[in-house]
Amino acid sequence: MESSSDKNMGVPDEHPLVSFIRNRTLHKGKSLPDGWKSTVFSRPGKDSKEHMFRALIIPTSDIEQLMASVETQKSHASGKIRLAATGGGAHKYKDELERRLNVQLIIVKELEATVHGLLVDSEQSVETQMLLCNVGTGVSLATVDKQGEVERVSGSGIGGATFWGLVKRLTQFSNFNEAIVAAHKAGVLGKADTLVEDIYGRETSKEIGLAPDLVAGFLGKLDSDNLTDADISAALLRMFASNLGQLAVFQARLLGVSAVWFAGGFVQSASSEDNAAEIIQNAIAEAMSFWSAGRLQAQFPRNAALLGAMGAIHVTINQER
Protein backbone atom coordinates (compact mmCIF):
# COMPACT_ATOMS: atom_id res chain seq x y z
CA MET A 1 0.00 0.00 0.00
CA GLU A 2 1.70 3.14 -1.17
CA SER A 3 1.13 6.83 -1.73
CA SER A 4 3.04 8.68 -4.42
CA SER A 5 2.09 11.83 -6.29
CA ASP A 6 2.26 12.40 -10.02
CA LYS A 7 5.19 14.77 -9.64
CA ASN A 8 7.42 11.79 -8.74
CA MET A 9 6.68 9.95 -11.97
CA GLY A 10 9.34 9.61 -14.61
CA VAL A 11 12.25 10.42 -12.33
CA PRO A 12 15.25 8.40 -13.62
CA ASP A 13 16.43 7.30 -10.18
CA GLU A 14 13.03 6.81 -8.57
CA HIS A 15 12.73 4.10 -5.95
CA PRO A 16 12.03 0.69 -7.58
CA LEU A 17 9.13 0.09 -5.18
CA VAL A 18 7.42 3.18 -6.63
CA SER A 19 7.81 1.73 -10.13
CA PHE A 20 6.63 -1.68 -8.90
CA ILE A 21 3.42 -0.29 -7.42
CA ARG A 22 2.71 2.06 -10.33
CA ASN A 23 3.10 -0.73 -12.89
CA ARG A 24 0.57 -2.82 -10.98
CA THR A 25 -2.00 -0.05 -10.61
CA LEU A 26 -1.97 1.28 -14.17
CA HIS A 27 -4.84 -1.01 -15.16
CA LYS A 28 -6.76 -0.72 -11.88
CA GLY A 29 -6.29 -4.27 -10.71
CA LYS A 30 -6.36 -6.20 -13.99
CA SER A 31 -3.75 -8.92 -14.63
CA LEU A 32 -2.73 -9.05 -10.97
CA PRO A 33 -1.82 -12.23 -9.07
CA ASP A 34 -4.62 -13.91 -7.13
CA GLY A 35 -5.52 -11.92 -4.04
CA TRP A 36 -3.80 -8.73 -5.18
CA LYS A 37 -5.89 -5.60 -5.77
CA SER A 38 -5.16 -2.05 -6.76
CA THR A 39 -6.80 1.29 -7.42
CA VAL A 40 -5.85 4.86 -8.25
CA PHE A 41 -7.54 7.85 -6.64
CA SER A 42 -6.88 11.56 -6.11
CA ARG A 43 -6.87 13.53 -2.88
CA PRO A 44 -5.58 16.95 -1.84
CA GLY A 45 -1.94 16.74 -0.75
CA LYS A 46 -0.28 18.78 1.99
CA ASP A 47 0.07 21.61 -0.56
CA SER A 48 -3.79 21.51 -0.92
CA LYS A 49 -3.47 20.54 -4.61
CA GLU A 50 -5.00 17.39 -6.01
CA HIS A 51 -2.52 14.53 -6.33
CA MET A 52 -2.89 11.01 -7.67
CA PHE A 53 -2.30 8.21 -5.19
CA ARG A 54 -1.98 4.51 -5.82
CA ALA A 55 -3.24 1.87 -3.41
CA LEU A 56 -2.12 -1.74 -3.61
CA ILE A 57 -3.19 -4.66 -1.43
CA ILE A 58 -1.02 -7.77 -1.20
CA PRO A 59 -1.76 -10.96 0.77
CA THR A 60 0.59 -11.48 3.69
CA SER A 61 1.71 -14.75 2.10
CA ASP A 62 3.05 -12.81 -0.91
CA ILE A 63 5.10 -10.19 0.95
CA GLU A 64 8.26 -12.25 0.55
CA GLN A 65 7.56 -12.31 -3.20
CA LEU A 66 7.21 -8.52 -3.13
CA MET A 67 10.52 -8.05 -1.32
CA ALA A 68 12.35 -10.45 -3.64
CA SER A 69 10.97 -8.67 -6.71
CA VAL A 70 11.93 -5.19 -5.56
CA GLU A 71 15.06 -5.77 -3.47
CA THR A 72 18.03 -4.33 -5.38
CA GLN A 73 21.02 -2.13 -4.66
CA LYS A 74 19.13 0.59 -6.45
CA SER A 75 16.63 0.68 -3.60
CA HIS A 76 19.33 2.11 -1.37
CA ALA A 77 20.93 4.25 -4.05
CA SER A 78 17.63 6.03 -4.81
CA GLY A 79 16.99 7.09 -1.20
CA LYS A 80 14.45 6.07 1.43
CA ILE A 81 10.74 6.57 0.76
CA ARG A 82 7.78 6.69 3.12
CA LEU A 83 5.07 4.06 2.71
CA ALA A 84 1.57 4.24 4.19
CA ALA A 85 0.53 0.73 5.21
CA THR A 86 -1.96 -1.21 7.29
CA GLY A 87 -2.94 -4.78 8.09
CA GLY A 88 -1.32 -7.74 9.80
CA GLY A 89 1.39 -8.18 7.17
CA ALA A 90 2.55 -4.60 7.59
CA HIS A 91 3.06 -5.19 11.33
CA LYS A 92 4.59 -8.63 10.95
CA TYR A 93 7.12 -7.67 8.28
CA LYS A 94 7.74 -4.02 9.22
CA ASP A 95 11.38 -4.36 10.21
CA GLU A 96 12.25 -6.63 7.29
CA LEU A 97 10.47 -4.43 4.73
CA GLU A 98 12.22 -1.33 6.01
CA ARG A 99 15.63 -3.01 5.99
CA ARG A 100 15.44 -4.81 2.65
CA LEU A 101 13.57 -2.20 0.64
CA ASN A 102 14.95 0.99 2.21
CA VAL A 103 11.52 2.34 3.12
CA GLN A 104 9.92 3.90 6.18
CA LEU A 105 6.55 2.30 6.97
CA ILE A 106 3.88 4.61 8.37
CA ILE A 107 1.51 2.03 9.85
CA VAL A 108 -2.10 3.01 10.44
CA LYS A 109 -4.40 0.96 12.67
CA GLU A 110 -6.47 -1.34 10.48
CA LEU A 111 -9.95 -0.29 11.60
CA GLU A 112 -9.03 3.39 11.45
CA ALA A 113 -7.65 2.92 7.95
CA THR A 114 -10.72 0.98 6.81
CA VAL A 115 -13.13 3.64 8.09
CA HIS A 116 -11.24 6.48 6.42
CA GLY A 117 -11.03 4.41 3.28
CA LEU A 118 -14.80 4.03 3.33
CA LEU A 119 -15.22 7.80 3.58
CA VAL A 120 -12.81 8.32 0.67
CA ASP A 121 -14.46 5.61 -1.43
CA SER A 122 -18.01 6.84 -0.85
CA GLU A 123 -16.98 10.50 -1.00
CA GLN A 124 -19.10 11.29 2.02
CA SER A 125 -18.79 12.51 5.57
CA VAL A 126 -20.26 10.82 8.63
CA GLU A 127 -23.69 12.42 9.09
CA THR A 128 -25.02 9.83 11.54
CA GLN A 129 -23.39 7.08 13.54
CA MET A 130 -22.74 4.02 11.40
CA LEU A 131 -21.65 0.44 11.95
CA LEU A 132 -18.82 -1.00 9.86
CA CYS A 133 -18.43 -4.77 9.57
CA ASN A 134 -14.94 -5.54 8.32
CA VAL A 135 -14.89 -9.13 7.05
CA GLY A 136 -11.49 -10.64 6.42
CA THR A 137 -9.85 -13.58 8.17
CA GLY A 138 -12.21 -12.85 11.05
CA VAL A 139 -14.86 -10.18 11.58
CA SER A 140 -14.48 -6.83 13.32
CA LEU A 141 -17.42 -4.53 14.03
CA ALA A 142 -16.74 -0.87 14.68
CA THR A 143 -18.84 2.25 15.12
CA VAL A 144 -18.01 5.61 13.57
CA ASP A 145 -19.50 8.79 15.03
CA LYS A 146 -20.04 12.23 13.47
CA GLN A 147 -16.51 13.27 14.43
CA GLY A 148 -15.07 10.26 12.62
CA GLU A 149 -14.00 8.58 15.86
CA VAL A 150 -13.71 4.81 15.55
CA GLU A 151 -14.51 2.29 18.29
CA ARG A 152 -14.37 -1.48 17.94
CA VAL A 153 -17.53 -2.79 19.57
CA SER A 154 -17.56 -6.48 18.71
CA GLY A 155 -16.17 -9.16 16.46
CA SER A 156 -16.09 -12.84 15.63
CA GLY A 157 -13.52 -15.50 14.87
CA ILE A 158 -15.96 -16.98 12.36
CA GLY A 159 -14.75 -15.11 9.30
CA GLY A 160 -13.55 -15.56 5.76
CA ALA A 161 -10.82 -17.96 6.83
CA THR A 162 -13.45 -20.16 8.48
CA PHE A 163 -15.57 -20.29 5.35
CA TRP A 164 -12.65 -21.03 3.02
CA GLY A 165 -11.10 -23.56 5.40
CA LEU A 166 -14.35 -25.52 5.53
CA VAL A 167 -14.78 -25.35 1.75
CA LYS A 168 -11.31 -26.77 1.21
CA ARG A 169 -11.86 -29.48 3.80
CA LEU A 170 -15.32 -30.57 2.67
CA THR A 171 -15.09 -30.12 -1.13
CA GLN A 172 -12.61 -30.42 -3.98
CA PHE A 173 -12.60 -26.68 -4.73
CA SER A 174 -9.14 -25.11 -4.75
CA ASN A 175 -10.18 -21.71 -6.11
CA PHE A 176 -12.26 -19.35 -3.98
CA ASN A 177 -14.11 -17.67 -6.84
CA GLU A 178 -15.00 -21.00 -8.44
CA ALA A 179 -16.49 -22.24 -5.18
CA ILE A 180 -18.66 -19.12 -4.85
CA VAL A 181 -19.86 -19.15 -8.47
CA ALA A 182 -20.58 -22.90 -8.38
CA ALA A 183 -22.58 -22.46 -5.18
CA HIS A 184 -24.75 -19.89 -6.93
CA LYS A 185 -25.14 -21.64 -10.26
CA ALA A 186 -25.32 -25.32 -9.29
CA GLY A 187 -25.77 -25.50 -5.53
CA VAL A 188 -29.19 -26.51 -4.24
CA LEU A 189 -30.02 -24.78 -0.98
CA GLY A 190 -31.44 -27.11 1.62
CA LYS A 191 -29.81 -30.32 0.41
CA ALA A 192 -27.06 -30.11 3.05
CA ASP A 193 -29.11 -28.32 5.73
CA THR A 194 -31.79 -29.65 8.04
CA LEU A 195 -34.93 -27.65 7.27
CA VAL A 196 -38.02 -27.09 9.37
CA GLU A 197 -39.99 -29.33 7.00
CA ASP A 198 -37.50 -32.14 7.64
CA ILE A 199 -38.60 -32.08 11.27
CA TYR A 200 -42.30 -31.23 11.16
CA GLY A 201 -43.30 -32.01 7.60
CA ARG A 202 -44.30 -29.38 5.08
CA GLU A 203 -47.94 -28.86 6.09
CA THR A 204 -47.32 -28.93 9.84
CA SER A 205 -44.55 -26.37 9.42
CA LYS A 206 -47.08 -23.99 7.91
CA GLU A 207 -49.58 -24.69 10.67
CA ILE A 208 -47.12 -23.70 13.38
CA GLY A 209 -46.14 -20.54 11.52
CA LEU A 210 -42.70 -21.50 10.26
CA ALA A 211 -41.59 -21.53 6.64
CA PRO A 212 -40.97 -25.13 5.54
CA ASP A 213 -37.66 -24.17 3.92
CA LEU A 214 -36.37 -22.31 6.99
CA VAL A 215 -33.02 -23.69 8.14
CA ALA A 216 -33.31 -25.48 11.47
CA GLY A 217 -29.72 -26.74 11.48
CA PHE A 218 -26.95 -25.79 9.06
CA LEU A 219 -25.15 -28.79 7.53
CA GLY A 220 -27.51 -31.15 9.34
CA LYS A 221 -27.69 -33.38 6.25
CA LEU A 222 -23.99 -33.27 5.43
CA ASP A 223 -23.87 -37.07 5.51
CA SER A 224 -26.33 -37.34 2.61
CA ASP A 225 -25.07 -39.43 -0.30
CA ASN A 226 -26.37 -37.18 -3.10
CA LEU A 227 -24.56 -33.97 -2.18
CA THR A 228 -22.36 -32.21 -4.72
CA ASP A 229 -19.49 -29.87 -3.94
CA ALA A 230 -21.68 -27.00 -5.17
CA ASP A 231 -24.41 -27.98 -2.69
CA ILE A 232 -21.94 -27.95 0.19
CA SER A 233 -20.40 -24.63 -0.89
CA ALA A 234 -23.88 -23.10 -1.13
CA ALA A 235 -24.75 -24.31 2.37
CA LEU A 236 -21.50 -22.95 3.80
CA LEU A 237 -22.00 -19.57 2.16
CA ARG A 238 -25.54 -19.28 3.51
CA MET A 239 -24.41 -20.36 6.98
CA PHE A 240 -21.60 -17.83 7.04
CA ALA A 241 -23.77 -15.01 5.65
CA SER A 242 -26.53 -15.80 8.15
CA ASN A 243 -24.11 -15.65 11.07
CA LEU A 244 -22.65 -12.40 9.81
CA GLY A 245 -26.05 -10.83 9.20
CA GLN A 246 -27.29 -11.85 12.64
CA LEU A 247 -24.21 -10.42 14.32
CA ALA A 248 -24.52 -7.11 12.43
CA VAL A 249 -28.26 -6.71 13.03
CA PHE A 250 -28.08 -7.44 16.74
CA GLN A 251 -25.17 -5.03 17.18
CA ALA A 252 -26.94 -2.33 15.15
CA ARG A 253 -30.07 -2.71 17.29
CA LEU A 254 -28.04 -2.55 20.48
CA LEU A 255 -26.41 0.70 19.36
CA GLY A 256 -29.45 2.20 17.65
CA VAL A 257 -27.61 2.40 14.32
CA SER A 258 -29.40 2.29 10.97
CA ALA A 259 -26.46 2.59 8.57
CA VAL A 260 -24.61 -0.74 8.31
CA TRP A 261 -21.65 -1.10 5.94
CA PHE A 262 -19.71 -4.22 5.01
CA ALA A 263 -16.11 -4.19 3.83
CA GLY A 264 -13.00 -6.35 3.80
CA GLY A 265 -11.33 -8.87 1.56
CA PHE A 266 -14.08 -11.48 1.86
CA VAL A 267 -16.78 -9.05 0.74
CA GLN A 268 -14.93 -8.18 -2.44
CA SER A 269 -12.32 -10.87 -2.84
CA ALA A 270 -13.45 -11.82 -6.33
CA SER A 271 -12.02 -10.60 -9.62
CA SER A 272 -13.97 -8.35 -11.95
CA GLU A 273 -14.16 -11.19 -14.47
CA ASP A 274 -16.94 -13.04 -12.63
CA ASN A 275 -19.79 -12.13 -10.32
CA ALA A 276 -18.52 -13.84 -7.18
CA ALA A 277 -18.40 -10.57 -5.23
CA GLU A 278 -22.00 -9.85 -6.16
CA ILE A 279 -23.03 -13.35 -5.03
CA ILE A 280 -21.36 -12.86 -1.64
CA GLN A 281 -22.90 -9.43 -1.17
CA ASN A 282 -26.37 -10.67 -2.11
CA ALA A 283 -26.07 -13.49 0.44
CA ILE A 284 -25.13 -11.00 3.17
CA ALA A 285 -27.88 -8.60 2.12
CA GLU A 286 -30.49 -11.39 2.28
CA ALA A 287 -29.30 -12.38 5.76
CA MET A 288 -29.47 -8.77 6.95
CA SER A 289 -32.99 -8.42 5.61
CA PHE A 290 -34.06 -11.69 7.26
CA TRP A 291 -32.67 -10.95 10.72
CA SER A 292 -33.93 -7.35 10.72
CA ALA A 293 -37.34 -8.22 9.20
CA GLY A 294 -36.51 -5.90 6.32
CA ARG A 295 -35.75 -2.89 8.53
CA LEU A 296 -32.01 -2.76 7.86
CA GLN A 297 -30.13 -2.91 4.58
CA ALA A 298 -26.54 -3.97 4.00
CA GLN A 299 -24.46 -1.34 2.22
CA PHE A 300 -21.27 -2.08 0.28
CA PRO A 301 -18.55 0.33 -0.87
CA ARG A 302 -17.25 0.25 -4.43
CA ASN A 303 -13.75 -0.82 -3.42
CA ALA A 304 -14.50 -2.94 -0.35
CA ALA A 305 -11.21 -4.85 -0.34
CA LEU A 306 -9.09 -1.72 -0.83
CA LEU A 307 -10.49 0.48 1.91
CA GLY A 308 -7.60 -0.19 4.27
CA ALA A 309 -4.97 0.82 1.73
CA MET A 310 -6.90 3.92 0.67
CA GLY A 311 -7.54 4.90 4.27
CA ALA A 312 -3.91 4.44 5.30
CA ILE A 313 -2.90 6.92 2.60
CA HIS A 314 -5.66 9.35 3.61
CA VAL A 315 -4.75 9.26 7.31
CA THR A 316 -1.06 9.74 6.53
CA ILE A 317 -1.79 12.76 4.33
CA ASN A 318 -3.88 14.38 7.07
CA GLN A 319 -1.17 13.77 9.66
CA GLU A 320 1.34 15.60 7.50
CA ARG A 321 -0.76 18.75 7.16
Q: What is the pLDDT of residue 76?
A: 63
Q: What is the pLDDT along the chain (321 residues), one digit of tens a residue?
A: 333 333 343 344 578 888 888 787 765 545 677 778 888 877 776 667 777 888 888 888 899 988 888 876 666 666 788 889 998 889 999 999 999 988 899 999 988 898 888 888 877 666 677 899 999 889 999 988 777 678 899 999 999 999 999 999 999 999 999 999 999 999 999 999 999 999 999 999 888 999 999 999 999 999 999 999 999 999 999 999 999 999 999 999 999 999 899 998 888 754 555 789 899 999 999 999 999 999 999 999 888 778 888 889 888 888 766
Segment (H or E) for 240: helix 229-255
Q: What interhelical angle do 176-185 and 229-255 show, nearest 10?
A: 90
Q: What is the pLDDT of residue 306?
A: 82
DSSP label of 319: H
How far apart are alpha carbons 315 and 216 in whole angstroms?
45
CB neighbour list of residue 95: distance below 8 Å, 6 or more residues apart? none
Q: What is the pLDDT of residue 11?
A: 40
Q: What is the pLDDT of residue 252?
A: 96
Calculate ∠ Cα 48-39-312, nearest 5°. Answer: 55
How far apart are alpha carbons 139 and 291 in whole angstroms?
18
Calculate ∠ Cα 305-240-229, nearest 5°. Answer: 100
Q: What percent of the chain is helix, strand and coil (3-state, nearest 5)?
A: 45, 20, 35
How far apart are alpha carbons 27 and 1 in whole angstroms?
16
Q: What interhelical angle do 160-170 and 229-255 show, nearest 10?
A: 160
Confirm if 245 and 288 have CB atoms less than 8 A apart: yes
